[in-house]
Amino acid sequence: MKKHGECKSPPSEGGNVLYVMGMKSLRIEDNRGIAHASHLAQERKKAGGKGAGNLIVIFFISPTDWKMHDRGPRRIDFVLRNLREIKKQLDELNIPLMVYTSPSRKDMPKTLIDFAKQWDVKEIVGNVEYEVDECWRDVAILKAAGEAGLYATFLEDTYVVPAFHLETKTGHQYAVFSPWNRAWTAHIEKNMHLIDESPSPEANDKGIRTGKLGNLFDRQGEGFGIPEYVEGYECKDAEYMRKLWPAGSHSARKVLSNFVRGKGGESAFEDRASELGHKQVAPDSKDSRLNRYGIGRNLCSENGTSRLSPYLAAGVISPRACLRATMEVDKNKFKVGRSTGTETWNTEISFRDFYAHVLAAFPRVCMNHFFVQKYERVCWEYDDSLFQAWTEGRTGYPLVDAAMRQASQQGYMHNRGRMTVASFLSKHLMLDWRKGERWFNQNLIDQDFASNNAGWAWSSSCGVDPQPYFRIFNPTSQSEKCDPKGEYIKHYVPELRSLEGAAVHNPFERLSKGEFEKLGYPKPIVVHKEARERALRRFKEPGST
């Protein structure tokens, strides 16, 4: 991007600063871009010029982009809800938030520059996004800004360590997680400022409301304003989503705080993400959700994980805030590993960076290609009825069905569930994993391209540092490990609620024919042993049937 950023140096005084808020930066706290934009605005104010040095924020609603990127209604509803919260916060600071619906993605740079000229903007600031289309969009903004004599800059904010800052001894991008993770940890230890908190933006002078920029505050019509919903993205279960996933950075901080201080080992099915640990314990207690994370994260029925993913994916909280929270527990030490809850959680947070680095370095993964290219020749099945049974949670494999029903109801799925259903789709059903990836994109509230693509590619053995093809999750033994008492299954699969003991993990084989038929639960849609052998055959020799 640097190559394209041939903008003129910023003039020293006069004019305003525009911060372009992106889909992954929906907060004003600890946000590198808005903090920098605010700093630049303050400098301009100090340098003089009547009415100069205001900060303006703009967000582009871009349904054409969203369609191309398989965004779903829940994710978009979450964006709109967060924008409303941000608007309230910015209003108090006399900072206008403009939300503009852009009819065409290609027009965005020109529209932005036109707005900038209209509002006497001299500098534009945003945060970098690594996805290919987003990169090209921002390159176009840099170019258009340069041509218009404006100064534009994009900052690294979304990940703890920016992409391309870590390389192997031979100067390449890492493609294996463990050495990458060691390099990531060492890099942060040497550069602790990477997790420093950025200041929130300074308020504009009240006078902005009576001046030329005053009418930006509540501008509606002609594409401006935060709509109730965006056509094509009507969220049918908006009310339930609001209950489970409250919007706003204050909610995200509550979700984090309840993960650090909430009591672990409790069941968690329908609670709000911010109330999963309502029984509080001391942060250094071994019973806290965070300190129990090493155990709790593997149990689907427990409040063992943070449920911060929707907030991290939309940038409602920064990953730095997560690492700082673990340092508070660890007496100001930054620890990564697998020995304690805090170490393990930081390792999981690092996965988010790892997959983003992979995406930035190997953009082909954004273009429907496999990281492991030989598996592009694997022979898939094309049976829509199997795919439908999978989406509806009617495969006859209880853990798979519980997890799929959780996703349909809550827009979220436990990580063990994600790994199990992804392996099941790509190996047991031999359906192209990109179909499952797409379904997740369209249905999950925490949809994040890099993590989702990599999670699917890992599970199907087609991605970076993947699960070896011959490791095929047995859905019954996974169920026994991740949901030993069958509580998760019974919550989401009511047909199995009456079962006792181990039958819940595999009712078809563990009950008599008559008992099974009374349940009204589907027979397994594939036989595990046969499906496993078929997958081994097809992956061993891509192209074979």
Residues that bind ligand FAD (CB under 6 A): 297, 305-309, 312-313, 348-349, 351-352, 355, 415, 418-419, 422, 440, 444, 446-448, 451-452, 455-456, 459
Helices (H), 131-248: 132-147, 177-190, 238-244
Nearer to ligand FAD, 297 or 490 (CB): 297
- 446 assigned ligand-binding residue: yes
Nearer to ligand FAD, 308 or 464 (CB): 308
Nearer to ligand FAD, 152 or 464 (CB): 464
- 387 assigned ligand-binding residue: no
Q: Find the shortest distance in angstroms from Cβ 37 to ligand FAD.
A: 25
Q: Find the shortest distance in angstroms from Cβ 6 to ligand FAD.
A: 35
* Three-class DSSP category at 266: coil
User: How close are the terminal C-alpha atoms of the chain, in Å?
Assistant: 44
- 351 assigned ligand-binding residue: yes
- The dihedral through the CA atoms of 112, 113, 115, 120 has a sign that is positive
Q: Find the shortest distance in angstroms from Cβ 538 to ligand FAD.
A: 20
- What would the 3-class secondary structure string for 384-412 be? HHHHHHHHHCCCCCHHHHHHHHHHHHHCC
Name the closest residue to ligand FAD (Cβ).
455
Which strands form 151-155's sheet, in the order they lie side by side? Answer: 97-101, 55-61, 16-21, 121-127, 151-155
Q: Find the shortest distance in angstroms from Cβ 304 to ligand FAD.
A: 8
Q: Find the shortest distance in angstroms from Cβ 342 to ligand FAD.
A: 12
Q: Find the shortest distance in angstroms from Cβ 452 to ligand FAD.
A: 3
- 354 assigned ligand-binding residue: yes
Centre a 10 Å sphere on the Cβ of residue 525 and count the other Cβ atoms it contains: 19
- 307 assigned ligand-binding residue: yes
Nearer to ligand FAD, 422 or 464 (CB): 422
> What's the CA gap between 27 and 44, in Å, rounded?
24
- 349 assigned ligand-binding residue: yes
Tell me the one-letter amino acid at 14. G
Is residue 396 within 8 A of residue 522, CB to CB? The reply is: yes
Nearer to ligand FAD, 127 or 306 (CB): 306
> What's the CA gap between 491 and 258, in Å, rounded?
23
Nearer to ligand FAD, 305 or 476 (CB): 305
* Three-class DSSP category at 71: coil
- Residues ≥6 apart with Cβ < 8 Å to 82: 26, 27, 247, 248, 314, 316
- 385 assigned ligand-binding residue: no
Q: Which residues are annotated as a binding site?
A: 293, 305-309, 345, 348-355, 446-448
Q: Which residues are annotated as a binding site for FAD?
A: 293, 305-309, 345, 348-355, 446-448
